[in-house]
Chain A
Amino acid sequence: MNDKFSQLYQKVVMEHARTPHNFGELEDFTASGEGDNPMCGDSFKVYVKVVDGVIAEAAFTGAGCAVSKSSASVMTEQVKGKSVDDIKTVYEKFQEVVNGEVAPEDADEKLGDLLAFAGIAEFPVRIQCATLAWEALMEALD
Chain B
Amino acid sequence: MFDHKEFRKQFPILNRTVNGSKLIYFDNAATMQKPKVVTDFLVDFYQSSYSNIHRSVHTLSHESTQLYENTRQKVAEFINAPLPKRGTPQNIVFTSGTTDSVNLLANSWGEQNVKAGDEIILSVSEHHSNLIPWQMLAKRKGAVLRFVSICDDGELNYEQFETLFSDKTVLVAISLMSNVLGVVNDGKRIVDFAHAKGVPVFFDAAQAVVHSKIDVQQLDCDFLAFSAHKLYGPTGVGVLYGKTELLNKMPPWKGGGEMINVVSLNDFSAAPSPFRFEAGTPNIAGVVAFGKTLDFLNEYKGITEYETELTNYLVNRLRELNEVEIFSGNNTVGIVAFSVADIHPHDLTHFLDQEGIAARAGHHCAQPLLSFFEVNSLNRVSVSAYNTKDEVDSFIEALKKALEFFAR
CA distance A39 to B345 in the complex (A): 12
Within 8 A of B (CB), among A73-105: none
Complex: A9 Cα to B20 Cα, angstroms: 20
With a cutoff of 8 Å between Cβ atoms, the chain B residues found around residue A43 in the complex are: 376
Chain B residues with CB under 8 Å of A5's CB are 350-351, 354
A139 at the interface (CB under 8 A from B): no
Q: Are A1's CB and B377's CB within 8 A?
A: no
A5-B354, A41-B363 known; A67-B376 Cβ under 8 A: no
In whole angstroms, how far apart are the Cα atoms of A64 and B362 in the complex? 10
Which of B350, B362, B363, B408 has most A Cβ within 10 Å? B350
With contacts A1-B405, A64-B376 known, is A126 near B344, CB below 8 A?
no
CB contact between B347 and one of A2, A63, A67 (< 8 Å): that residue: A67
Question: Nearest chain-B residue to A39 (Cβ)?
Answer: B362
A54 at the binding interface (Cβ < 8 Å): no
Q: Compute how far the CA of A2 lies from the CA of B398 in the bound complex, rounded to whole angstroms.
A: 13
Contact residues in A for B5 (Cβ distance below 8 Å): none
- Are A14 and B408 closer than 8 Å at their CB atoms? yes
* Docked complex Cα distance between A101 and B120 (Å): 51
Q: Contacts of A126 on B, CB cut-off 8 Å?
A: 346, 350
The SS class assigned to the A binding surface is mixed
Q: How far is the CB of A36 from chain B (nearest CB, A)?
A: 10
The 0/1 profile, CB within 8 Å of B marked 1, for residues 35-69 of chain A is 00001111100000000000000000001111111
How many angstroms from the CA of A50 to the CA of B370 in the assembled complex?
35
**Bound-complex Cα distance A64 to B361 (A):** 12
Contact-residue size bin, chain B (C-beta under 8 Å from the other chain): 20 to 34
Chain B residues positioned under 8 Å from A69 (CB to CB)? 344
B252 to chain A, nearest CB (A): 33
Name the distance in Å between A136's Cβ and chain B's nearest Cβ.
15
- Interfacial chain A residues near B350, Cβ < 8 Å: 5, 123, 126
- In chain B, residues 362-403, which have Cβ atoms closer than 8 Å to a Cβ of chain A? 362-363, 367, 370, 376-377, 401
Cβ contact of A40, chosen from B377, B405, B406, cutoff 8 A: B377
Q: How far is the CA of A5 from the CA of B363 in the complex (A)?
A: 24
Give, as a whole number of angstroms, the nearest-CB distance from B397 to chain A: 13
B19 interface residue per 8 A CB criterion: yes
Contact A2 B19 (CB under 8 A): yes
Within 8 A of A (CB), among B310-362: 344-347, 350-351, 354, 361-362
Q: A1-B354, A2-B354, A64-B376 are in contact. Are A40 and B347 (CB under 8 A)?
A: no
A64 partner residues in chain B, CB cutoff 8 A: 344, 346, 376
The interface residues of chain A lying within 8 Å CB-to-CB of B370 are: 41
Q: Are A9 and B347 in contact (CB under 8 A)?
A: yes
Q: Which residues of B contact A40 (CB under 8 A)?
A: 345-346, 361-363, 377
CA distance A65 to B345 in the complex (A): 7
Is the Cβ of A129 less than 8 Å from the Cβ of B405? Answer: no
* A42:B377 contact, CB within 8 angstroms: yes
Distance in Å: Cβ of A7 to nearest Cβ of chain B? 12
Asked whether B408 lies within 8 Å of A65 as measured between CB atoms, the reply is no
- Distance between Cα atoms of A126 and B54 in the complex (Å): 47
* Beta-carbon nearest neighbor of A125 in chain B: B350
Q: Give A43 Cβ to nearest chain B Cβ, in Å.
A: 6
**Complexed CA–CA distance, A39 and B401 (Å):** 26
- In the complex, chain B residues whose CB is within 8 Å of the CB of A65: 344-347
Look across to chain A and name the residue whose beta carbon is closest to the beta carbon of B364: A41
0/1 interface trace, chain A 15-53, chain B, CB 8 Å (1 if under):
000000000000000000000000111110000000000
In angstroms, how far is the closest chain B Cβ from the Cβ of A19? Answer: 12
List chain B residues, Cβ under 8 A from A129.
346
In the bound complex, residues from chain A placing their C-beta under 8 Å from that of B363 are 40-41
Chain B proximity of A6: nearest CB distance (Å) = 8
Look across to chain A and name the residue whose beta carbon is closest to the beta carbon of B378.
A41
A39 to B351, CA, bound (A): 17
B346 / chain A contacts, CB cutoff of 8 Å: 40, 42, 64-65, 67-68, 126, 129
State A39–B344 Cα separation when bound (angstroms).
14
Q: How far is the CA of A14 from the CA of B297 in the complex (A)?
A: 47
Residue from B367, B376, B401 in contact with A42 in the complex, judged by beta carbons closer than 8 Å = B376
Q: How far is the CA of A36 from the CA of B367 in the complex (A)?
A: 13
Whole-angstrom CA separation of A68 from B20 in the bound complex = 27
What's the least CB distance linking B121 to chain A, in Å?
Answer: 26
**B407 to chain A: closest residue by CB:** A14
Chain B residues positioned under 8 Å from A68 (CB to CB):
346
> Please, how many angstroms separate the alpha-carbon atoms of A42 and B376 in the complex?
7
Q: How far is the CA of A69 from the CA of B377 in the complex (A)?
A: 14
Asked if residues A41 and B354 are in contact (CB atoms below 8 Å), the reply is no
Q: Point out residues on B near A: beta carbons under 8 Å.
A: 19-20, 344-347, 350-351, 354, 361-363, 367, 370, 376-377, 401, 405-406, 408
Q: Which 5 A-B pairs have the closest CB atoms?
A: A65-B346, A65-B344, A41-B363, A41-B376, A41-B377
Q: List 16 A-B contacts (CB under 8 A).
A: A1-B354, A5-B351, A5-B354, A9-B347, A40-B345, A40-B363, A41-B362, A43-B376, A63-B377, A64-B344, A65-B345, A66-B344, A66-B406, A67-B346, A67-B347, A69-B344
